[in-house]
Structure formats: structure tokens, C-alpha cells
Structure 1
């Protein structure tokens, strides 16, 4: 006898998934082109194409700004929903962050129930958004170049590099959790298809699943 088809719930809209994947692609382009601009002779295979790398870096940065403007204009509810998701950080979120790295057999209890985004995803979203603003401001100052005081352009360059160094482990951790942990495969499926299984939502995002079931928002 065939098993019943698992019930699915809509976790991410098409606009949210587009924002996620286009941002990820542009960030990768910015990271690699920025790395080639930063590396010196003997380390940089693209040293003789520095102007090309600079153009790619600038074009990707402009595309990133355009991405957020397009989403804000074409689907304002997307950014509003993300803001609402991360706006509240309550006691359950703090306890989740405190216990998430402790194996369940040691903590002896389930993690606190979470909403559509768990506390780690909220923190990642806030840090990524803050870094994006920082990259935009410092990158604009660096682009100003000779028109600005030397101290300001040098400070912008330093902070741009520090932001990059801070974002690399954040992105690496995000990829490790998303791709290598079997328990998070449901979340990966959600950001690809937009839907997750209801039983996954109940286990990982119980407070969100409860609101969904009250509205019977399943497919």
C-alpha cells in the first residue's frame, strides 16, 4: 500500500527565493573579484586583468543594489515579511542560541519552539543585511577615491576588508549547516522549492507550524 503523500506548507515565496539565490550569486562574484583585486604579485593569476576584475566587482555591486531596489518596488511585502521575521527576538530565541550547539543527549530537552525563521536564521539575516549596508557605504567611499580625503578612503578600505573577513566564516557556516547536516535538508528543500513538509515544520518551527495549521495553509 502506498504511503500517503506528505503534506506541504509554503515557507518561502518566489520573490524571497529569487532574492536569496541572486544575492548568493552576486556575493560570490563580489568575493572572488575582490579577492583577485586584493592579492598582490605572485599570488594573483589575474594581475594583468586587474581592470577587468575591478569592472566585474563594480558591476556586481551595482547589480546587488539594483536587486534590493527591484524587490522593494516589485514585491514590497517580501522585505516587509523578512523585517517582521527578524524584528522580534524573544526568550525562546535566546535559549535556542544557547542550546543549539549542545547535543540533544547532553541537553536532555528539545530546543525551544521557533517561528518561520529560527534564532540562528534571524541572526544570520540581520548580520548579512548589516554587512551589505556596510559594504555599500565603504565601497561607495572607495569608489570616490581621489575626490575624498586620504584618511577617509583608507578607513573605508580597511573596513571593507574587515567586513569581508567577518562575512567569510558566516557564509561558510551557513553553507556547512545547509548542505552537510541531514537534519537541515528540509530547510534546503524549502529555499529551493519554496515548500517544506508539515512534519518538518512541526519539528523545527513549531510556533510557525501552529499558526499555519490554524489557518490550514497546507498544500
Structure 2
């Protein structure tokens, strides 16, 4: 249930100041300790009512809120610029990978037609083989299921699944985890039917 909070007849707080206050670590820690819920953390009106808030004067609250508005806007703008820079770097990285694995490191190397439409030209001294002649699927299974549970993503490669799930969802996954999952090793190429690939950095499932 969503609750609307407003000042009493005699106002003690400025709404924007209270918004920032509720974003603070101290208040968020209180919510985590006193909140309930598995998929969505909620806190009762009684728990909110029992929380003690140290309040400056309304004038000082307004000054603090104005200051945070300005500084937050600066940070948001910097984050937007950084995100654009990151996207450009990702694009550059992808181009570097594409050129290196399909054309090699020598830009002066003689080229020839690969015979594969989507590949195009490749260095003349390179060969072309079907993937089925290069890979063998390894079906090694866990005995007790105690190894690190992994996920495969085209964005992040192979990573611990615990890093990609909420604490509640992760606990349910652990409780439902069974042995006999497929195992992988360091530097082994992993993938699944959705076209996601990666290499793990340690043992895992």
C-alpha cells in the first residue's frame, strides 16, 4: 500500500529536505532493518512514526534542499556525459575486436575472399573451418552442487549469478539448487541456446 505523507498543521519540515533525508544511508538502513517483504521491501506507518529525525530550522532545511538540488543536477549531468563516453568506448572496443579477429593485426597483410558471405575478406594466410570441427561439448556434472553458481551473458560474459540477482531471489535460488549441474573451468568457453558466451575465471556451475 502507498501512503501519502504531508506536514502537520504546524509545519516542521520542508518536503524537499525530507525527500533527501529519506534517501540518506541512515534512513535507508533503518528501513532495511525494520522493513518486511520478500520481493518488495516495505515499512509500516508505525515504524516510520517511531523513527527520530533531527531537524534544523525550516530556513536551513530550505537552504540544504536548494544546495542538494544544484549539486545533484551537476552530478546527474556528469553521469549522463560519462554514460555517453562509456557507450562510445564500448563501440570502439567492439570495432577493435571485430577488426582484430577477422582481419588480423597487420593492416598491410594481403587479403583474400573467405568464401563466407558474412565474413568477407580475411588475411590470405588464414584458414576457414566450421565450428563443429573446432569444439567439443564437455558434460561434466557437479556431485554436491556446492560450486559457485554462474550466469552467462552477452554483456558481461560469465559472472557469479549472485551478482545479478536480488538477495531474496538469490536465497530462493540457493535453496532450490540441486547437484548434477554442468561444471566449467577457468578459460573454458561457455554458452547456451540464447547466443550468450563467455569465459569463467574459476570453477563454477
- Same fold, judged at TM 0.5 (above): no
More helix by share: 1
More strand by share: 2
Please indicate the TM-score interval, normalised by the length of the shorter structure: under 0.3
